[in-house]
Structure 1
Amino acid sequence: MTARTDPLVPGQRPSPPPVHSEATRYLCVAAHTDERFAERVLDEVLGDELRAVAPSVGFDVSPVLRHCLVARHRRRRRDLRLLVFGGLAVLLAPLWTLLVIGAMRVGTSLTPFRPTRERMLGPLLGMIVVALSALVLLIQFHLVTVVESSPAGWLVGRPWLALPAGIAAFLALAIHLHGTRWLLLTRLRRDRFLATAPDEVSLPSRYADRLAAVDEAQHGNVTVYGGYVPFVGHGTPVAGWSFALPIRPAEHVTGLSRPEPAPFTVLELIDHVRGRLASLDAGLGADRLAGLTLEDRVFVGGHLLTGDHRLLPDQERAPRQRFTPEEIRQVAANPQGAARHYLCALVPSWGAEVVAGTFLHFSTDGKLLYLECARTVLEPPRWAYHEVDRLTDWMSARQLVQMLAVATDRLVPTAVGAAGRLLTDLGHALRHRARQARLRRLAREDLGYDHGARVGVRELATGTDYHNYFQVLDAAKHLKVVERHVLAAIVDFLDERGLDTAEFRSRQTMILNQGIVQTGGLSVVGNQAVGSGARAEQHGQPPPAGGGERPRPV
């Protein structure tokens, strides 16, 4: 059976990532409220200019990157102020400053004094205790008579001069927190979302070319992945299925002539399944999947690009991430190389916070038809990022106390680490060009250099839990609806061509029923257990590294 020559879908382009989706907004929030997330994003996407970009699933990565750069700039200004005021306090009164730091660490570590949204008294008492401790230490040092010319005079110093420096450091951190709140309130709350980063910060020129390349690459139809799992950027893999089906004529009534089965190609099967799934977006009823995105995507390992001038024309540059329809057709019809074609069905829900992905791969040698269905679920961003939607236009006394308590709680660790962060950032900025030159040299000398994306930005922001019960159910429903229609489309396709479907129908029944097993008072749905003393185990699919236990729709 030979492949036909017309492309899969002429001129097909994947739908552009939603700039104003809830997922985009929460990732922009994460840039300003989660320093670790912001730095990891910048390192993964901008730190290596030879690395491919993971696909943007349900969000737009460009505004997220710009917000991360703005957040880094704001944190540098904060750290610089803390370094100046903190260093001044240490120079003026080293011993007093160290004792106050110790008192603050003890005072803020007590559970009743921790800043919370629900209680105002605890944080208020915590700040009072810290202030009184500093005042008592100041008075004690003032009463102690120390000869300034003695060796210990410099150690005591002048605490009454160091106190204003300490207060200035506290105010600098509090002002930074208030500025973050104002930015979230005016630009990132649901009713005021502006995807563009604030104009007050000029982005570093060294990132201009990379930002433009990333913006183009996220719209591509080729995923160049690093590591083992190809579906980088699409979330956590969940149970799928695959099998090989013999291609033979259908059985007919004895005595009647058996008609020759109509030949077919893999491309025809892909088109047929795509057409069936496309009807789900425009259809009516329980099976309608609003927002369903269908795209032909090619996956290839980042260390397997050498010699493929379609994707890597220059070893010292990032790979291309867009194939023409003709190139996609060639990969789909001949899946023997490193590049593999998948028909991707992505169903977003909850403002694209949850995305259920189904990846279909078909191939044949004329005697066997190989069918594969891989599935992923992109879980919602961490719950802490949703706090932005609780911000009010005015700041109540409770919220003010909470913000000041947070400043008190974070002052010591933030100020102590300021010098190290500034030196690290300075080193990265000075060594940026040298680092890129070193990476280009490594790529030139190593033909197996891995250009693949290691992790998606969405995956860096994913929490370990769903936010409510219905998010799990919606993801499971979308996977099941797509699966049912895929199986039905394959049966129809084989029947229309006079091919035997008995074995496939048996496997279809097994696939559709494998997710539900009733045992007494315990129901097991896929790898989820519901009931008294419930427990579900899944074999053959290892849990994702670094993630906690979570329900997974199957």
Structure 2
Amino acid sequence: MTMSSPATAPGVDSPKLRDDTTRFLCGAAHRDEQFADAAIREYLVEKTRSIPQSPGVNTGAVLREAVAGRMRRKLRDAVLLLLTLVLLLTASVAALGPWLLIAVPLAAASAGFRIRPVVRQLATPTGRAPIIVGAIGGLLALAVVTFKAGSEFEGSSRYGSYPSYPSYESSSDDAEIVVAFIAVALIFGVLLADRIIVWLLLTKSFRRNRFRTSPGEELWQNEWKFRQLGHQIYADALARYPVEEREQPPDDEGKARVTVYRDYRPFVGAGRMFEPWSMALPLKPAHDDDGEPATMLGFTLPEIYEHVTNDLLKTGRSASLSPGHRLRDLTTSDRVVVSAVELIDHLGDAETAIVLPDKDKAPVRTADKSVVDDLVTRPREWMRYFRAFQVETWDRDVVISAHLTFGLDDELLYVEWTPSVLYPIDAKHREIDTWSPHSLRPLGEAVADLLRFPATLPRRFASAVMWMAPMDQPAGTFLPDKYGAMVSLRELVAEDNVDNYFQLTDVERYIKVLESRLLRTIGEFLESKGISVTEFMEQASQVTTNNVHITGPVISSNIATVGKARTGNVKVVKGRKS
């Protein structure tokens, strides 16, 4: 009995993906100050930094909300600091003491969002000046409290020595108490107003089917005034990221996208590497039925790239192969990946001028076909070419990418395949769709903020007075970190894993399907050139069974996993994680 592949019904396309990633990230920019600061630090502060792309994200819209959110918080905390100063000058330390005792455990119990190390690192102000300002402000506040406590202690000691005489509060003391109560009320009012503004943004401005990235009809009073706070400060930097309602345009025909990376991961924006592998295949002639060697036909690297790409793009013909027929939307593009450290180390070379023609500007976003053709045949240690494949699934919650590169001489073909998975946006940033605009939650949050307020003063002081400045670069030197990208907006808020079992199996499905088709295509291509595929099939079998990293012929001693083994009992090589 034979089975045929199910035919695709005519006119049946994959359902349209919802584009929720942008609005969820816009909401995150107002809820999570660490994310907003990290986004500004990575994208806007350094004008020479390479721009990583995020699938399905309107970068300009998210950055504008990040700037607005940061400015709103700075204004809020500046007003709160002034009111706190009034409170410290008028209220007694004895009265404020119990408030502090309540605030510290409450603040510790509700520490807020879990902050990823990379987000914490990027959100830190640059240079010594913010730290100096913060230290001076802290010392002044401590001096005020100490003076106030000393005055109160001296007064209580004086009255304590005359127990027979009643103490009478002066009219000035009454006025101070009234001012202190007013200051507390105003502090609560500011906290409540801020919570209401954020709530309106999350439940109205960023609601599905109502979300807009450009000014237009206001969904609530003064909506766009709050959403455009601080834009003038970063006007030049934001101009690099135009806001567009439409989808991101495809890569220019005949051009390759350029990524200049810092740190360890070269494929910035693709997510976490998922079980990469490589193999080196000896090119030997096949033998016919009589045992005679066949005539080997030579081939070039552009030829095998083209053959493999055309075949992989045919993977999505069957709707049953991928849920939602997502593989039909598999895309491919050329990528040039450059190390920022080596880019700066090779300043003055002709190759460097291709990527960084102006040291005072960011690296180019795309490279011409001539650059691609040269890197295909002559890759540099610090600048490589990859053919990228990408499929978006689960309404862009999960994105699977793979980067492919070949190496070739008269005797060997080298194959390197690096899949990556971009996991869903953190669940806390997606819960806004379940909230009602008509809720008392902002009031409850404001009350909790008031109770925690004394313990949050150091953070609020830092928010109000500290700033982000470009990294110091001594004259005549160039810092690689000013040019290389490390993380995309999506990666800043991505979870560490999938949300459910189906997403897990889909990740495995798409990677295995593409991997299997890639290996079959390479085998068929080699056969068509009269090349023996015996050893290739042995290595391919090891890849599909155990996802092994193979550096030569299949010998048990040199088979090891790069990531977690899918099946089988193989040796695990410990290395640096992505």
SS of equivalent to 1:30: helix
Matching residue of 2:205: 187
TM-score between the two structures when normalised by the length of structure 2: 0.73
Aligned to 2:465: 423
The residue aligned with 2:337 is: 299
Distance 1:164 1:342, change over 3 A: same
TM-superposition CA deviations, 1:361-403 (whole Å, max 9, x none): 11112221110011211122211111201111322x5x35643
Post-superposition Cα deviations, 1:69-91, rounded to whole Å, max 9, x if no partner, equal 11112112211221222221111
In structure 2, C-alpha distance between the alignment counterparts of 1:470 and 1:477, rounded to whole Å: 10
Q: What's 2:300 paired with?
A: 265
- Deviation at 1:245? 0.8
Contact 1:19–1:60 (8 Å) recurs in 2: no
Task: Return the alpha-carbon distance in structure 2 between the equivalents of residues 110 and 260 of structure 1.
Answer: 74
Kept in 1: contact 2:46–2:482 (CA 8 A): no
For residue 488 of structure 2, what is the aligned residue in structure 1? 456
For residues 362 and 455 of structure 2, the distance between their equivalents in structure 1, rounded to whole angstroms, comes to: 38
Closer/same/farther in 2, CA of residues 391 and 290 from structure 1, 3 Å limit: farther
Gaps in structure 1 of 5+ consecutive residues: 1-17, 116-140, 517-523, 545-554
Distance 1:499 1:453, change over 3 A: same
Q: Which moved more, 1:247-256 or 1:161-170?
A: 247-256
Paired residues, number: 472
Unmatched runs of 5 consecutive residues or more in structure 2:
1-15, 113-155, 161-165, 216-222, 549-560
Residues 491 and 505, structure 1, Cα contact 8 Å, conserved in 2: yes
The separation in 2 between residues aligned to 1:158 and 1:538, in whole angstroms, is: 70
Q: 1:486 to 1:107 in 2, by over 3 A?
A: closer
Aligned counterpart, 2:564:
527
1:344 to 365, 376, 388: 388
Residues 495-523 of structure 1: CA deviation (Å, up to 9, x unaligned): 1211111111111111111159xxxxxxx
1:244 matches 2:280: yes
Amino acid at match of 2:339: G
Give yes or no for contact 2:277–2:417 (8 Å, CA) kept in 1.
Answer: yes
| Pair 1:44–1:449, CA change in 2 (3 A) | closer
Aligned CA distance change for structure 1 residues 107 and 417 (closer, same or farther; 3 Å): closer
Q: Deviations over 1:35-75 (max 9, x none)?
A: 11111111111121122122323423221111101111211
Match of 1:403 in 2: 445
Over 3 Å counting, the alpha-carbon distance change for 1:246 and 1:461 in structure 2 is same
Q: How does 1:43-54 map to 2 (within 5 A)?
A: 43-54=41-52
Contact 2:199–2:442 (CA<8 Å) still a contact in 1? no
Amino acid at match of 1:380: P
Greater mean deviation of Cα atoms: 415-424 or 493-502: 415-424
| Secondary structure of the structure 1 residue equivalent to 2:77 | helix
Read off the aligned partner of 1:487 and give its amino acid letter. L
Name the CA distance, whole Å, in 1 between partners of 2:89 and 2:17: 49
Deviation at 1:268, TM superposition (A): 0.8
Quick one: distance in 1 between partners of 2:287 and 2:391? 38
Aligned to 1:78: 76
Equivalent residue, structure 1, for 2:234: 207
List per-residue Cα deviations over 1:442-472 (Å, max 9, x = no partner). 5x42486762112222222123343222222
Mark the CA change 1:195 to 1:446 in structure 2 (over 3 Å): closer, same or farther: closer
Q: 2:195 aligns with which of 166, 173, 177?
A: 177
- Between the aligned partners of 2:478 and 2:104, the Cα distance in structure 1 is 53
Q: Is the 8 A contact 1:177 1:407 kept in 2?
A: no
Moved more, 162-171 or 278-287: 278-287
For 1:98, the equivalent position in structure 2 comes to 96
The root-mean-square deviation of aligned C-alpha atoms, in Å, is 3.6
Counterpart in 1 of 2:258? 222
Q: 2:430 aligns with which of 383, 386, 390?
A: 386
* Alpha-carbon spacing, 1:268–1:94, altered in 2? closer, same or farther (3 Å): farther
User: Could you say if the C-alpha distance between residues 226 and 109 of structure 1 is closer, same or farther in structure 2, counting changes exceeding 3 Å?
Assistant: closer
The alpha carbon displacement at 1:345 in A equals: 1.2
Equivalent of residue 310 in structure 1, options 330, 354, 366:
354
Letter in 1 for 2:280: A
Q: Which residue of 2 aligns with 1:33?
A: 31
Aligned to 1:132: none
1:399-548 matched pairs, under 5 angstroms: 399=441, 402-425=444-467, 428=468, 432=469, 435=470, 438-439=472-473, 441-442=474-475, 444-446=476-478, 451-514=483-546, 527=564, 539-544=573-578
Which whole-Å deviations, capped at 9, do the CAs of 1:1-53 have from their partners, x for residues lacking one?
xxxxxxxxxxxxxxxxx997222222212101111111111111112112212
In 1, Cα distance between the equivalents of 2:418 and 2:540?
15
How far is the alpha carbon of 1:419 from its aligned partner?
A: 2.8
State how far apart, in whole Å, the 1-side matches of 2:365 and 2:266 are: 14
Instruction: Determine the C-alpha separation between the residues in 1 that align with 2:457 and 2:63.
Output: 26
> Are the counterparts in 1 of residues 17 and 395 from structure 2 also a CA contact under 8 Å?
no
1:353–1:379 contact (8 Å) kept in structure 2: yes
TM-score normalized with structure 1 length: 0.76
Contact 1:238 1:541 in 2 (8 A): no
**Contact 1:266/1:333 (<8 A) preserved:** yes
Question: What code does the residue aligned with 1:317 have?
Answer: K
Q: 1:106 to 1:511 in 2, by over 3 A?
A: closer
Other structure's SS at 1:340 match: strand
Tell me which residue corresponds to 1:10: none
Cα distance in 1 for partners of 2:304, 2:54 equals 27
Tell me how far apart the structure 2 counterparts of residues 57 and 231 of structure 1 sit (CA, whole Å): 13
Counterpart residue type for residue 85 of structure 1? L
Q: Offset at 1:331?
A: 1.3
Alpha-carbon displacement from aligned partner over 1:335-384 (angstroms, at most 9, x marks no partner): 24521111111122222222122111111122211100112111222111
* Separation in 2, partners of 1:110, 1:367: 64
Distance 1:203 1:415 in 2: 23
Instruction: Between 166-175 and 401-410, report the one with greater CA deviation.
Output: 401-410
How far apart are the structure 1 equivalents of 2:61 and 2:20?
Answer: 13
- Secondary structure at 1:355 match in 2: strand
Partner Cα distance (1:536, 1:164) in 2: 70
Corresponding letter in the other structure for 2:178 = W
Distance change (3 Å), C-alpha of 1:185 and 1:420: same
Is 2:18–2:396's contact at 8 Å kept on the other side of the alignment?
Answer: no
Q: In structure 1, what is the Cα distance between the partners aligned to 2:298 and 2:509?
A: 35
> How far apart in 2 are the matches of 1:369 and 1:488?
15
In 2, Cα distance between the equivalents of 1:478 and 1:367?
A: 32
- SS class of match (2:354): coil
Measure the CA separation in 2 of the matches of 1:337 and 1:407: 53
Q: Does the residue aligned with 2:329 lie in a helix, a strand or coil?
A: coil
Q: Residue 196 and residue 541 in structure 1: after superposition, are their counterparts in 2 closer, same or farther (change >3 A)?
A: farther
